[in-house]
Structure 1
Amino acid sequence: MTALSAAAKAALAGGAPLPFSLYTSHTEQRILNAPILKPLLICVLAGVKHLGRDAELVCPAGSFVFLPNSPTIDMRNIPVNEEYCAMLIDFDHADFHQFQRSAVPARPHLLGPVDAVLAKTLQQFAEWSVYAPPGAWHFRKKELLQLLYQAGHHGVAAMAAPPSFSHQLHDMISADIAGDWSVKRVTAALAVSESTLLRNLKAEGTDLLAIVNRTRLGHALHLIQTTRDPIGRIADRCGYYSQSRFTEKFKLLFGVTPTGLRKTRL
């Protein structure tokens, strides 16, 4: 895990956008309702990750967990010997088109070891990402999925549920995270009537404001975990012009304040 961690940290040190993230902490993190909006591979490089309100899943260093694009999950990131560190890679629904979904039953998660082959592949992925154009990232992501499948983790083929209406809205809002996402703007972008929009959202048990807030706060959570930007700047970038209001909504959803979460990384 040492070589993989070093390669990932070296790649991220350049500051350029990359097709993976590295989450670290030096004290325990407890995060409620963490959004999983795309199929997500989490490789724990140091420390332990607990998933679920009652720690139903335990992922020690040297293991991975693959989560489908399910709504939310509670988690604890626990440092061992000074640090928690995990490499995260999200996937698009199209990355799974190489598999025949009907042949594999859907699963709520997939657990496994980061063996020598996967660790070396991830290390090469991190090093390659520094030089590769963003348009080529999805090719290597599809190779990672195929590697897991060929290693016997056939459940990876069923990690991508068809995108819901809410997921489509999330992707659209993410392209302009701080924008004014009114009903009028959304219906115009989707070319649907207001009644159709509201009916589809009601069928999924949500509404537009909830999706906008969840998308913004999910992005804020990512920025707090991966950057050292001031909390006020993150709030502004995510469309919250009052830092106190941003902090209130962040704590209400995740169970921790932005400042409290930031302190775990210091």
Structure 2
Amino acid sequence: MTPLVKIERFYGQKSQPLRNVPVYTPSIIAVTSGVKALLWQGETLVFDPNHWLLASSTQALTFVNEPYQSKFQSIQLSFLSPPSEWVLKLHAKSEISDSTFLSSPSLKVNDSLNFAFLQLIAMSEQSLSSAVQQCYLDAFYLQLNEQGALSRLFEGDFLSLREKVSRYLSADPAANHTIDNTCSHFAMSQATFMRHLSKEGTSFRVILAEVRMLCAIGIMQSISARNAVPLSQLELAIRCGYQSESRFSQRFKTQFGISLKQYMKTISD
């Protein structure tokens, strides 16, 4: 069955400062231990277990994860399927206006939202058809709509090319992706492909690098969570599609403002 949500868990034992972390799919980040301090329009917003971070697919996040009693933990729930058309129609007719909420990505959690959130996590652990998964998702989207928060996740009705390309590359970040085979996959000429990405403020090379950097964080987090033996920087580089350890390390530091060694130290003793 094709999953319609993606669940990722992030941990930290020391302060984790990260900048320009790209978001490629609408996501909710729920902190379960510690706090996430997000830089937002010149201000610092604090997210704790009582406040979710709602991130649309157009954002890049700069934040510091601060542990509580040597433990930071968060769950990122990414939505791979938008609301059904009937949900969008209800949203359009809703008397609740989202305009008063657009200045902040923070949503105060109540019991109903938390219940629906946990249902989606449980759903992700089952082998359910896409139709059944969509029913669960639409119920959650309706709950968000009642809180006036749905449009903070979904700013448009269609996937941008940036989103489509990132999802395609994310399926196998280590593959030998080229702009030619990617254009072929999307049945677009290279000129049209580049022009569309340029209008969205990005490029193929930038998206590929960002996808691979996110892959690196995911691998390090997964290995740490399993208490497995950490990979060497070269092994990690190869698993993320780089043949040069130095280029990989430099790109990681440029992207996130923290070196690989520094990040590794934040998630393990």
Q: For residues 241 and 75 of structure 1, do their structure 2 counterparts lie closer, same or farther at Cα, with a shift above 3 Å needed?
A: same
Secondary structure at the residue paired with 1:95? coil
Answer yes or no: is the 8 Å Cα contact 1:43–1:87 preserved in 2: yes
Q: For residues 263 and 134 of structure 1, do their structure 2 counterparts lie closer, same or farther at Cα, with a shift above 3 Å needed?
A: farther
Q: For residues 163 and 130 of structure 1, do their structure 2 counterparts lie closer, same or farther at Cα, with a shift above 3 Å needed?
A: closer
2:47 is matched with which residue? Answer: 59
Which moved further from structure 2: 65-74 or 111-120?
111-120
Answer yes or no: is the 8 Å Cα contact 1:62–1:114 preserved in 2: yes
Q: How does 1:143-222 map to 2 (within 5 A)?
A: 143-150=139-146, 153-161=147-155, 162-222=158-218
Instruction: Tell whether 2:88 aligns with 1:99.
Output: yes
Instruction: Tell whether 2:36 aligns with 1:49.
Output: yes
1:263 is matched with which residue? Answer: 265
> 1:187 is aligned with what amino acid?
C
**Displacement of 1:194:** 1.9
Which 4+ residue blocks in structure 1 deviate beyond 6 angstroms? none
**Displacement of 1:171:** 1.6
TM-score (norm 1): 0.81
Distance 2:161 2:103 in 1: 20
**Displacement of 1:138:** 4.4
Q: For residues 210 and 124 of structure 1, do their structure 2 counterparts lie closer, same or farther at Cα, with a shift above 3 Å needed?
A: closer
Q: How does 1:5-84 map to 2 (within 5 A)?
A: 19-52=6-39, 54-84=42-72
Answer yes or no: is the 8 Å Cα contact 1:219–1:238 preserved in 2: yes
What is the root-mean-square deviation in Å for CA atoms of aligned residues?
A: 2.6
Secondary structure at the residue paired with 1:239? coil
* Unmatched tracts of structure 2, length 5 or more: 225-229
Instruction: Tell whether 2:120 aligns with 1:131.
Output: no
**Displacement of 1:221:** 2.2
1:243 is matched with which residue? Answer: 245
Q: Identical aligned pairs, as a percentage?
A: 21
Counterpart of 1:86 (choices 70, 74, 89) is 74
**Displacement of 1:102:** 4.3
Deviation string, structure 1 residues 181-226 (Cα, Å, up to 9, x no partner): 2222122112222221222222223222111111211222232233
Distance 1:119 1:94 in 2: 20
* Unmatched tracts of structure 1, length 5 or more: 1-17
